[in-house]
Amino acid sequence: MKILISTDIEGVAGVFHAEQVRAGNGEYERARAWMTAEANAAVQGAIAGGAEEILVNDSHGGFRNLLPDGLDERARLVLGKPRYLGMMGGLEEGCDAVFMIGYHSRSQGRGILAHTINSFAFSRVFINGMELGEAGLYGALAGEMGVPVILGTGDDVFIAETRDTFPGAEWVQTKVAHGQGSGITLSPAASRRAITAAAETAVRNLKGGVSVLGRPSDRKPIPFRIPAPIECRLQTQSAALADLFCMWPTLERVDGVTLRFTVDSMQSAVRTLNSLAAMSFMLR
């Protein structure tokens, strides 16, 4: 069994401020170490649950935050960009399930450091009428490839908005959000212990075995699939961004800050959104 661990940083225990998620300062260096440790906790639990192979995907920012020399040597690391599958890079190798570690809630919510793909560019993203954040978008990409999300970790807002999207998944609440930059967190050590236990349970559930408590498990995770065609409705953070994005001929302007496009797959939708995010740097 092969598991892909997609690891972001905003949902990691102890992380609350933008300085902690941006390279170039001591606060970030501490946060990326906590991020690496939570990834390792997930690796440990997955192997205890019966996984034979693990890929850890660095899914934050420039995709080069995890510390390779600090990673559990039983895992392989997916680093760098651009990559077509973004936060799901590694699924090309044929994985059986996905963990989402250190994830956050979608833009315009009260979750800690909440955003969707690009906080400068994107306000809200709708797919076939459903508002989705990064977990929903990338979970649908995994689902399109027949792969379920079986574990998610992050704050309470992230879990509340995502739980119903991934039936049968395990969840670890690392923090309680009191706002975009405040709340209550587990200690990094307590968070790691909880992640290890949940990861083991998640893999055992997928294998149809027993939980870590010794009870039979009938919670079979289901891939999250959105049928094609895929219509994406995107609200930008400013009219200037919509002006820029609609230079792309296949995008249709809806109003001052809204555009839409239709594609034949979630992979195409995600690749388009990531291309628009890259374009937005022209206006920074």
CATH code of the domain containing 198 = 3.40.50.10780
Q: Is 115 noted as a catalytic residue in this protein?
A: yes
What pLDDT shows up at residue 57?
A: 98
Say how many domains are in the chain. Answer: 2
- Rounded distance, CA 53 to CA 2, Å? 5
What's the pTM?
Answer: 0.95
The answer on whether 60 is annotated among ligand-binding residues is yes
Q: Which of 174, 208, 242 is the last residue of a domain?
A: 208
* 10 is known to lie in a ligand binding site: yes
The active-site residue, picked from 115, 124, 204, 271, is 115
Question: Is residue 164 a known part of a binding site?
Answer: no
Same domain as 158, residue 266: no
95 and 236, same domain (yes or no): no
Q: Are residues 202 and 272 in the same domain?
A: no
Same domain, 113 and 17: yes
Same domain membership, residue 277 and residue 152 = no
**Residue range of the domain that includes 191:** 2-122+133-208
Residues 181 and 268 in one domain: no
- If asked whether residues 278 and 185 sit together in one domain, one would say no
202 sits in which H/E element: helix 188-207
Please indicate, yes or no, if residue 7 is contained in any of the structural domains: yes
| pLDDT for position 219 | 65
Edge-to-edge order in the sheet of strand 258-263: 130-131, 122-127, 230-236, 258-263, 252-255
List average pLDDT for each run of 10 residues in the chain, which is 284 residues long. Answer: 98 98 96 98 98 98 97 98 96 97 96 97 98 98 98 98 96 97 98 98 84 52 96 98 97 98 98 97 94
